[in-house]
């Protein structure tokens, strides 16, 4: 759920199609990783979709069940889907697409080249060169959500590295 971070906070937004499966799962995983590293207060994490057909809906129950089964703390009211607005580029330092289609859509939405440069794939690292997309589990079964979560977790080290670079490049207190 979106909250207003304090000034100087590094801001990340994960983006998938409808913002009820992949991107909210990635949001929860990154928050947990940041808390483990003591960075939760320095980095704000949100999520959105490229489409608005689920706007206002909670996360898919299967996504929350997969997170719960893996030990992540989530509640039924912890998410409301929303559509990414091009005007939001100014509020985010890093916009993480869950697949190449989302990446293309976000780059097309970006008002400037600098905004387009904020967009990266979750699975952008060399270990994922052959499979850079997180598959959409929506039309599958519970096992597909667990598999999706494992893929998302596997992409987090690269995202954390990007955040570390972003934080290191900041001037002044953060």
Q: Which of 52, 57, 78, 136 is catalytic?
A: 136
Q: Is 136 a catalytic residue?
A: yes
Annotated catalytic residue, options 13, 16, 21, 148 = 16
Of 13, 21, 22, 62, the active-site residue reads 22
Bridge partners of residue 15, in order along the sequence: 48, 97
13 a catalytic residue: no
**Contact call for residues 86 and 112 (beta carbons, < 8 A):** no
In the chain, where do the E strands start and end? Answer: 10-16, 43-49, 94-97, 119-121
SS3 content of the chain, % helix, strand, coil (to 5): 45, 15, 45
Active-site residue list: 16, 22, 136
């Amino acid at each position: 759920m979106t909250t207003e971070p304090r000034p100087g906070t590094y801001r990340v937004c994960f983006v998938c199609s409808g913002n009820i499966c992949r991107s909210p799962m990635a949001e929860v995983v990154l928050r947990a990783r940041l808390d483990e590293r003591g960075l939760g207060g320095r980095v704000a994490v949100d999520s959105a979709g490229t489409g608005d057909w689920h706007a206002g809906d909670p996360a898919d129950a299967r996504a929350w069940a997969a997170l719960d089964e893996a030990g992540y703390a989530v509640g039924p009211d912890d998410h409301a889907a929303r559509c990414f607005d091009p005007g939001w580029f100014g509020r985010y330092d890093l916009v993480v697409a869950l697949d190449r289609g989302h990446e293309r859509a976000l780059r097309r939405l970006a008002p400037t080249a600098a905004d387009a440069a904020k967009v990266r794939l979750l699975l952008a690292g060399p270990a994922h060169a052959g499979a850079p997309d997180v598959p959409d589990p929506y039309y599958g079964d519970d096992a597909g959500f667990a598999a999706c979560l494992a893929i998302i977790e596997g992409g987090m080290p690269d995202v954390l590295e990007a955040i570390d670079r972003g934080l290191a490049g900041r001037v002044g207190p953060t």
